[in-house]
Structures are given as C-alpha cells and as structure tokens.
Amino acid sequence: MKKHIASILLITLCLFSCTSGDDNYITFEDLYEEGEEFLTGELGVNSTSANAFGFEVDGLTFTEIGAFSTGNSLFNQNWVSAPASTTARDGLGPTFNARSCAGCHFKDGRGSPLVNGEDSSGFLMRISLPGQDLFGNANPVAGYNTQIQDRANNGVDYEAKINVTYEILNGAYPDGHTYELQKPIYSFSDEKFGSLEGILTSPRVAQQTIGLGFVNALPDDQILQFVDEFDADGDGISGKANYVWNVEENTTTLGKYGWKANAPSLKQQIAGAFHGDMGLTSSLFSEQECPSPQQDCADAVNGGEPEITDSQLEKVVFYQATLAVPNRRNFEDLSVLKGKANFTEINCIGCHRINQTTGISEIAAVLNNITIKPYSDFLLHDMGADLADNRPDFLASGKEWRTQPLWGIGLISTVNNHTFFLHDGRARTIEEAILWHGGEAENSKNAFKELSQEERQQIIDFVNSL
C-alpha cells in the first residue's frame, strides 16, 4: 500500500510540475494523508453495497446491538393508524408525509426531489408567515402550522398537494463548456384549509442519516471555533451559529441538525420528524398536529399518549446515533488526490471542514473522543439568491443554509439510486450542486469554474470518494 502511494506521488509530482505552471508546491501531505480514508477513525464501515448507510459502528455491546435493532425496526417499519393490535406501532397521522422514517430516508439514505403529480417521497414543504413566535421559531400559517402534510389517514383530509415545474437555466464555463441547471418552481393545489397564496415556503428533502451520533457528541466549541459571523478575517466566508429552541432544556441552545441547523439535538430532530412528518406524538411534542380548523384530524383516534414512548424514542435515537459512516473509496486514485488538493486550494474546505473531535456522548460511549472528518462546519452560510428560500428559521436568514456534511455523499447513488443534491434535490449531479453555490461560496464556485475540465472532474471524483 505504501509503495503504491509512493509511486502515485512520483507521477503526481511530475504531472503537477510539468503542467500546472503556477506556484503551487504540492507536498506529500497534500496528496495523501495517512488514514485520511477513515472519516470516523476506526468506527467506519467498508461497505460499498446498497446497504452502505445501514451498518452500526463497531464496538457496540450485545445490549446496544439490541437497541440498535429495535431502533432500526421502528425506523424502517410502517407505522399504522390507530386503533390497531400492534399498539407499539400505531398512531400514524392523522395527517402525515410518510408512514415510516425509511419512507423518506430510504435505507438510511436520502430523499428524492418532488415529482410533479406524485405524492412526495422524501420531500416536504415547510411554510410560515413572516416574523417569529415566542420561541424564535417561524410563525405558523393559520390552518396549517409550519409544514404541509400531503397525506392523511382514512376519513381525514390531507392538507394540500404540492406541485413543481422546472425552469432551465443555461450556463457556460470560461473554457466554453456549457451546462444546464434546473430551477424548481413550487405551487400548491387542493388546499383544504384556506389559501396558501403568498406564504413563505422552504422545500426540503430528507438527508442521509449516517454519522449523526458524532455530530451530537461534538462539544459546542468544536463547532463555534469556525464562527466568523462578520467575516473578521476577510476571506468572504462568515459562518454563523444558529441558536434554536431546545424543547427538553426549555431554553435556546446551539442548532446542529437540519438544513437550517434548526434542531439542537439528535433527539429533538428525530422527535420533530416523528411529529411533523408522521403525525406521531412523543414526550417532546405531545400535541397532535391538527391546527384549527382541522376538526376531523383533531377528532381522530390517537395511538396513546404519547404515541411513541420514551423508550421507543431512545431506541430510534440510539439507532440513528450509531449508524456508521462508510470509509472512503478510491482515496488513492490520482484524480481523487489531485481533486482533494484543489478542493482545499479553491477553499471549499472553508466551510466543508474536517478534524473536529467529539466529546463525551450521552448516547453511546463508543462515540467518545473521536476525531471526525465530516466535511462540514455545521454552521450557517449565506448561499446566495439562487438558493435562497427567503424563509427565516430561528437565526437563519432566508439565504442561509447549514453546510451539508459530505461524508458518504459518493455512495448516495448506490444506496438511493439517484444523485439529487441540495436542500430540495434540484441539483441532478455533484457538479450541478457546486454550480448552484453562491453567496459566501461564490468565490469558490467561480474558482471551480475557472479550472480545466479535467481539474473540475478531479474535484468531483474527490467528492465522490467521500
């Protein structure tokens, strides 16, 4: 292995010195860093199968494997409408987006963008009115609250259907190569509880759920070290923490999860998804999601109070927290190593950060004190007008999004059979996702566009190796 790398290095050094012509001096460390393929230390898995996101981290005890298994079952199996004999699995709805967690996070992977005329599959629409509620959350829309549930149980109205059309945007690289982006334009139909005209909207697709326990175990300072809200260092990149309402702690704490970093903990993120996406109550969100005037919804039988018990919630949290991150593939490939160098050179790494270290995990001891390479700072960044949804979310402005961790990204096509990226899945490839970057990422994107086609491909190859 060492020899193999060494020979690559020789070739690479020659190529760089022969072709680049600029003053980049590429050292050994720039090309291959010992152990760089292990994004979560020794806790990664080597699977490259369609189940690559479904494995637990190494080192769990028998009892922990049991908890993982039960969590897996509760995540994958459909929940059913109450009343049902399977009392531990009833309480779905009355309105909902999906029957199971896996309905959106198929094989613990990623949702697909909305397909016009079809019910959502891993896609949902957040909505709000301008302003904030008492907790700093977005203001609910009368009759609907803050999310459109496009499905419902028998005898209950779903809230509305969502439609999409795409506008094609043409662009070109400085070298003359052209590209095409598709910009989604959303609308509502069949609104059951009043017009949704003119409200604020934020389309979202479900993210892959690997490595979440590491993020949960990151001490705040590991995230806050990258904060540069007013760009004091003048590199064009800020990095802003979202502080959001923590339901369990009854106070505002650092946001870590979701497209806008609007969930402070893995437990709240999961309980929120059970509640908003599946209509299941828990000790964190105990009210049925039936805003007035949804009377059939309010009158529908529930699956107990709460519908998902604390024990079940803990098991799902444990399951999600201990889903392993796949180790990198093709990390020795010349193009990947060169792509990595350029990824750093054009400062993608300025937001897609690595080498944070977890503290003590309250979920699983095996996650303690692990240095990780998530390729994310988990902070908010202005991503420009083209990606803006213009819907604030706690401290996140309508232009700001949390940096998406890139670990596992190259396996999404294997797990989910698609390569749709960004918050609403508008990008059809990694290349398109890069080209949509704006705002604080404008310079990096432009630098990417200035690269040769071969160098652009090398960056894509590198991202695919993650």
Partner 1 sequence: MKKFLVLLPISFFVFACSNDDDNNSPNNDEITAAAVVVNYANLVYESYSDSYDAAVLMQTAITTFTETPTEDNFTAAKDAWLSAREYYGQTEAYREANGPIDTEGESWSIGNEGQMNAWPIDESYIDYVLTGTESYAGDYNSIIGDETYTITEEALAGSNEGVDDKSISTGWHAIEFLLWGQDNTAPAEDLPGQRSYTDYTTAENADRRAQYLTIVTNLLVNDLNDLVSTWNEGGTYRTVFEALDTDTALQQAINGAFFIAGDELSSERMIAPVDSTDGINASGQEDEHSCFSDNTQRDVYANAQGVLNVIYGSYGSINGASFIDLVKQTDPAQAATLEAAASLVATRAALIGDNAQPFDYLITQETSDSTDGPVMQCVVALFDLANEISASASVLGINLN
Residues at the contact surface with partner 1, assessed by CB under 8 A: 45-47, 49, 51, 55, 62-63, 65-67, 69-70, 72-74, 76-78, 80-90, 92, 98-99, 103, 118-119, 151, 154-155, 301-305, 307, 309, 311-312, 315
In the numeric block, the tokens 């990780």 are attached to 372
Cβ distance to partner 1 smaller for residue 289 or 393: 289
Give the residue among 71, 102, 105 at the shortest CA–CA distance from 318: 71
> Residue 312 CB, nearest distance to partner 1 (Å)?
7
> Residue 365 CB, nearest distance to partner 1 (Å)?
15
Cβ distance to partner 1 smaller for residue 33 or 118: 118
Cβ distance to partner 1 smaller for residue 82 or 215: 82
Number of residues assigned to the chain = 466
> Residue 279 CB, nearest distance to partner 1 (Å)?
13
Per DSSP, 344 falls in state H
> Residue 155 CB, nearest distance to partner 1 (Å)?
5
Cβ distance to partner 1 smaller for residue 77 or 225: 77
Environment class of 144 (CB within 10 Å of its CB; exposed 0-12, middle 13-18, buried 19+): buried
* 247 within 8 A of 287, measured Cβ to Cβ: no
What is the phi-psi region of residue 17: left when phi exceeds 0, alpha when psi lies from -120 to 50, beta otherwise? alpha
Cα separation, 303 vs 93, in Å, equals 9
Sign of CA dihedral 459, 383, 381, 128: negative
Cβ distance to partner 1 smaller for residue 49 or 225: 49
Identity of the residue numbered 30: D
Cα separations (Å) of 259 from 38, 94, 379, 424?
A: 25, 26, 10, 10
What is the phi-psi region of residue 169: left when phi exceeds 0, alpha when psi lies from -120 to 50, beta otherwise? beta
Cβ distance to partner 1 smaller for residue 97 or 268: 97
Give the residue among 307, 262, 296, 271 at the shortest CA–CA distance from 159: 296
> Residue 7 CB, nearest distance to partner 1 (Å)?
27
| Token pair for 439 | 């705002």
Cβ distance to partner 1 smaller for residue 35 or 66: 66
> Residue 61 CB, nearest distance to partner 1 (Å)?
9
Cβ distance to partner 1 smaller for residue 91 or 374: 91
Grouping H, G, I as helix, E, B as strand and the rest as coil, residue 275 is helix
> Residue 224 CB, nearest distance to partner 1 (Å)?
37
> Residue 77 CB, nearest distance to partner 1 (Å)?
7
> Residue 294 CB, nearest distance to partner 1 (Å)?
18
Nearest 5°: CA angle at 350, between 173 and 24?
65
> Residue 69 CB, nearest distance to partner 1 (Å)?
3
> Residue 247 CB, nearest distance to partner 1 (Å)?
21
Phi, psi of 219 (to 5 degrees): -60, 150
Cβ distance to partner 1 smaller for residue 49 or 397: 49
Which DSSP string corresponds to 143-194?
TTBTB---EE-TTS----EEEEEEEEEEEE-TTS-EEEEEEEEEEEES-SSS
Cα dihedral 286, 367, 54, 352 in deg (nearest 10): 90
Cα separation, 100 vs 87, in Å, equals 15
Cβ distance to partner 1 smaller for residue 85 or 189: 85
Cβ distance to partner 1 smaller for residue 81 or 146: 81
* 186 within 8 A of 125, measured Cβ to Cβ: yes
